Chain A
Amino acid sequence: MTPQETPTARTVARRFWVMNFLILSLALMSSALAVRYVALPFFKDYQYSAIRAQAEDTALHLDGLLSHNDTLLSVVAKDAHLIDIALGLEDNSEYLPDLLAALRLPEDLSWVSFYDAFASELSDFDRRPEERRLFSRAALDNLVTSTLDGTLKSRKPVLLQTRGEENFVILATPVLHQGFVEGVLLSGYRLHTADIYPRNEIVKSTHLILPLNGLLRKSSAVVSPLRNFALSVALVPDEAAVQKAGTAVLTNSMGAISVVLVGAFALFVLAGKAVIVGPHRALEEKQAKLSELAAIAERANDAIQITDLDGKLIWANPAFEQLTGHHVEDVRGMTPAAFLQGPETDADTRRRIRCAMETRQAIQVEMLNYHSDGSTYWISLSISPLKTNMGRHYGYMAISNDISEARAQREAVLAAKQEIELQALHDALTGLPNRRLLDQTLKDSDRAAAGATTIVRIDLDHFKYVNDTMGHDAGDHVLCEVARILKEETKESDLASRVGGDEFLLLLAPGATSEEGVHLAKRMLERIKTPKMFDGKSIRIGASFGVASTADGLLSRDQLIIGADAALYEAKESGRNRIRVYAPDLHQNVLARRGLAREMRKALAQGEFEPYFQPQFDARTHEIVGVETLARWHSRELGLLMPNEFLPVAEQLSVVEDIDNQIFTKALEQIDSLRTSGIMIPRVSVNVTVDRIRSDEVYGRIRSQDPNGPIIVFEILESVLVEEQGDLFHFGLDRLRDAGVKIEIDDFSSGHASIVGLMQLKPDAMKIDQRLIRPITSDPLARGLLGHIVGMADLMDLTIIAEGVETMEHAMILRDIGCHTLQGFAFCKPLPVEELRAFILQHEARLSLRALGS
């Protein structure tokens, strides 16, 4: 078929729509005609039947209503007394109203009148008497008379009046005696139209009529007589409403038919469109798409090649020629692998491609290709199987592009990343793994599972000295030398790392024991101790080793480094160039410290730290001039502990300040308590750290002190003078002084205090270290030095306090040298407050006696 003969999809669609529209229109028109000429007359007939049925229903309903009332009055009419009254045997006009008032009467009932056999009214019962007046006297008389007549009529006569929506009906009920009518009860009712006539859209009006009413003559009225009463119901149909209802039926029917037909046609159109128009349109679209694809393929930057199922080239685009350097015509019918791949092309990738093609799967790979000129390049290659609409495979399409450059960049990035990772995990100076890599390795669970873990902690001795004396280059040289030794002495499965300035840590291969660690450490110590040459100079260094192993069963893997630290600390403590293993004895020490720490926290909470007071005496008069406060720990578990026993642990726990606070607070309270015994301590000195000088809390405590209390003296270690102090320290010192605190330098001459430092600090007193005091009885040099120190202090107007005064001989020499205040066992050891109280009282008594004696 030529293009001229082939209708376009649009033409087909237009024909299709026109045909459907025509069929739908015809169906709708024929349906409308069918409804108009068949259903509508039937519907109208049905409407009138409905009106007739309604008239009959209404009549039946009304008949029932009236019969009910008539029955009620018939029962009343049978009342014996009422009959006697009718017969004249009794004369009681109140009887009827009383009788009716006692009954439950229908609401419709308006009134009742009682007539005797001569139509004379005997009595009345009234609810709505005005309704009786709606009827003429003659009409009532006629009804009574006709009832008295006694002739049985099939339909009882009634009277009727209608006023708007209300109908007034009168029933006549005979009063019988032995079958003879001896009286009549007339009963009046008010019936609301709404109650007796159901609403209906096609009824114009509904009427109650008496027989022979004019309405009967109206042909349109539908009349239904009541069965028991001479009354009829007349319904006048609403012609317009009937017509309207008919129209509505026509409209609704057509609406429904239209919906159904349109729905059905819509389905048909959808189906038809899919079957008839759809393929045309799809074909057209496919053609257009193929043209576009061909154009795209021609112009694509990516190389596109089509092969048959055997992988032989059928078609390729210009980009293919450009990428490969081969003309399509030269290589058509060949498999691309034959002329594009070479010896360096990854064999595995080639195998994967073959496998994918055999299983008709798509695949994407990166592979090395060869240009026609022999050069190589990397491509990204996507191969997809091609199949017909029916799902039959007929070839493959391969799309490739040159990724040589991108790949080179990616490899460069990868190399850089590896370098960064290496640097992050290694020490730059020595090239040894750093702490991070060590930690990672330690956490390696595979390694942990392989056997016991052993580490050797190495700390170089005197390394700081090398740095300080020979410069950092020499230090770095030493470190690199040590690193080399470590590398050489360890196996590949060991890990030697630098974890700090001069600290190294060896992680031995899994399964190694602490003995092996010690053995290794010995080898390394020997080599480290060997002098190193730098810049023509010999450098001597040493090293301390701490060895810890999980194989000893004392430590878990997580605790190894701490254990090794503890061992290293021991090694350093016991002299340098030592190797210590974290053995049971060390483990016990650590545990003891840990117990002590636990007890200390409890002690702080329970206030077990107590101040002890060592009195200070005037060197000449031996009067008590003050006390030094010393800390003691009254442990419930451990007994009395001295500061050297608990302070190292307290420092580790950072609770020294808390202990100081507790001691200081208690000391002030206890000294204050001595007042009750008449004891006034002039000065109370306490040891303080630099931090406490700066503390706002301490300052606040001092400010709150009683001004009449003792003078507070803060003893600061001489080392304070050596270290450079900040502004905050001096600010704290000044405000304490302003608050009345005296400053005293403790342990003077034990360190490197300078005269300049003393001049800057301007202390109030100076306490001479006991190591200088103790030899004065035997060593003239010591005595001479002390004399100079006292002389210097005098120059600076400082009070000199000598501590460690063990004998009275010391006391006399010191007095003679010129010391002002003495403190030591020669006078009194440190005492708890109660013992202090006793001592002071006794001492004062002794002084008094001495004074009396002299």
Chain B
Amino acid sequence: MLRLARIWRLVLAASLLTQPLPAQAAASMSPLVLYLDGDFSKNEAASASIELGIRTALAEVDYRIGGMEVAVQRMDHRGNVRRSHRHFQNMVESETALALFGGMASPPYLTHQAFINENRLLVLLTWAAAGPITRPGPDRENWIFRLSVDDTKSGPFLANAAADQPACQKISLLLLDTGWGHASRPALEKALVARGKDAGLVLFLPSNLGEAGAGMLADTLAKAAADCIIMLASAKTGALMVNAVHKRLPKVRIFSHWGIMGGGFVDRVPHDIRTAHHLAVLQTCGLRQERQGNPHLRRALSLALPEAEGLADVPAPTGFVHGYDMTRLMIAAADQAARTPQWSGDIKDKRLALHGALERLEQTVPGILKSYASPFSPYTEDQPDAHEALNGSDLCLARFTDNGQLEDLR
């Protein structure tokens, strides 16, 4: 796996090489700006991967979309919803911010979904799984598009994966004590019921969980004699829980949402423990695409990280894959929007044009995960997945290799 610092250098180099020169910039209109609202402080790997994906896709078009230059502006929300809100407010004020890429956390977008939609801020989510984010409810505009795992799909996917295992008779749920965790619970339970299983025990993980707290939760699980666990956790809390569970229930199978991929998980959980628990991690099927020799993946990867031997060399590869694919969709939509009169309007018009183009993308856009044909459509209650670029069939399970990389779980 490439070191994170090195990725940063690459991202920086790529951005410098592909950015228009100042002379060129002066000759054209002010460049459009793409905000990247991510946690560059506490989950640096995920945000950096997303940025790498975005910049790789933009590099492919020389940072020009819809005939205009575009720049990426990093906005570090540091996991703080309020800070994201500031970014949204900045965007409202901005004359150039065309869209905001968001990732590696659902709360900012869940909390400020209304604000986003009311102010018609175009938000492209590459790493946020909470189901309601792209489903604002009746009679509301929907300005949030997602190319990421959708928990309305991931829940049933994980539940089915567990239910498929004969060893899983008592399946317990370990969910983050956040809006995301609580929102995921019904879908998980419903899916388990559909498979004739009960969620034996549902436990919530506090965001400031420590070893003692993890131990207590693990004791509770041990008392309930759980044989399989479906876990929605961050990298830190997930690592604490897996280690704690290992001491009490050394053979329990663990099916984890991809939240643990935020960074640092493999450093905290040794490989033998990961293996002992048959630890399976929800992923979109990038690894499978790589295994199947997807040429777009190879090209993008070679552009982004020429030294990388495979997707596994990218830390938090999900971010790269989703960022890349989402940016490609945006570029296609911008090109489509550029043909509308609105594109020549102010930034709000441009956002509106781009929003319309995304919902009615005419061309099929090939990406790493798949080729996207009309990935989005106008949202109605009848079309809850209208702003979802991926669906259940795009989900896969992966496992860790002994060197901490993910590999497709065939």
Contact = CB atoms under 8 A, between A and B. Distances in A.
B22 to A, nearest CB: 33
A87 B206 contact: no
A182 interface: yes
Contacts of A84: 178, 207
B247 interface: no
A624 to B, nearest CB: 132
B140 interface: no
A117 B207 contact: no
B83 A117 contact: yes
B136 interface: no
Interface in A173-209: 177-178, 180, 182
A118 B86 contact: yes
Contacts of A83: 207-208
B82 A118 contact: yes
Given A78-B208, A80-B208, A87 B80 contact: yes
Interface string B95-113: 0000000000001100100
Contacts of B108: 88
Contacts of A116: 82
Interface string A595-611: 00000000000000000
A89 interface: yes
A86 interface: yes
A88 B85 contact: yes
Pick the most buried of A86, A88, A117: most chain B CB atoms within 10 A of its CB: A88
A78 B42 CA distance: 17
Given A178-B79, A180-B42, A89 B178 contact: yes
Contact of A178 (B42, B107, B178): B42
Contact of B206 (A80, A88, A182): A80
A116 B82 CA distance: 8
A149 to B, nearest CB: 14
Interface in A80-126: 80, 83-84, 86-89, 116-118
Contacts of A80: 206-208
B41 interface: yes
A83 B81 CA distance: 12
Nearest to A120: B82
Contacts of B345: none
Contacts of A86: 80, 82
A642 to B, nearest CB: 125
B208 A89 contact: no
Contacts of A118: 82-83, 86
Interface in A25-83: 78, 80, 83
B67 interface: no
Contacts of A177: 42, 79-80
Interface in B24-42: 41-42
Nearest to A91: B111
B179 interface: yes
A88 B41 contact: no
B206 A89 contact: no
B78 interface: yes
A78 B208 CA distance: 9
A89 B83 CA distance: 11
Contacts of B80: 86-88, 117, 177, 182
A87 B208 contact: no
Contacts of A178: 41-42, 79
A180 B206 contact: no
A88 B208 contact: no
B320 to A, nearest CB: 23
Nearest to A78: B208
A80 B78 CA distance: 17
A78 B210 CA distance: 12
A71 B49 CA distance: 39
B81 A180 contact: no
Contacts of B82: 86-88, 116-118
Contacts of B83: 88, 117-118
Given A80-B207, A117-B80, A182-B80, A89 B179 contact: yes
A89 B78 CA distance: 13
A87 B83 CA distance: 8
B81 A88 contact: yes
Contacts of B208: 78, 80, 83
Interface string B47-83: 0000000000000000000000000000000111111
Given A180-B41, A180-B42, A89 B107 contact: yes
Contacts of A89: 81, 107, 111, 178-179, 207
Residue with the highest number of chain A CB atoms closer than 10 Å, among B80, B84, B107, B111: B80
A78 B213 CA distance: 15
A118 B84 CA distance: 12
B81 to A, nearest CB: 3
Contacts of B107: 87-89
Contacts of A87: 79-82, 107
Contacts of B207: 80, 83-84, 89
9 contacts: A87-B79, A87-B82, A88-B81, A89-B111, A89-B179, A116-B82, A117-B82, A180-B41, A180-B78
Interface of A: 78, 80, 83-84, 86-89, 116-118, 177-178, 180, 182
Interface of B: 41-42, 78-86, 107-108, 111, 178-179, 206-208
The 10 closest A-B pairs by CB, nearest first: A88-B81, A88-B82, A80-B208, A178-B42, A87-B80, A80-B206, A116-B82, A89-B107, A182-B80, A180-B78
Given A88-B108, A177-B80, A180-B41, 8 more contacts: A83-B207, A86-B80, A88-B80, A89-B81, A117-B80, A117-B82, A178-B79, A182-B78
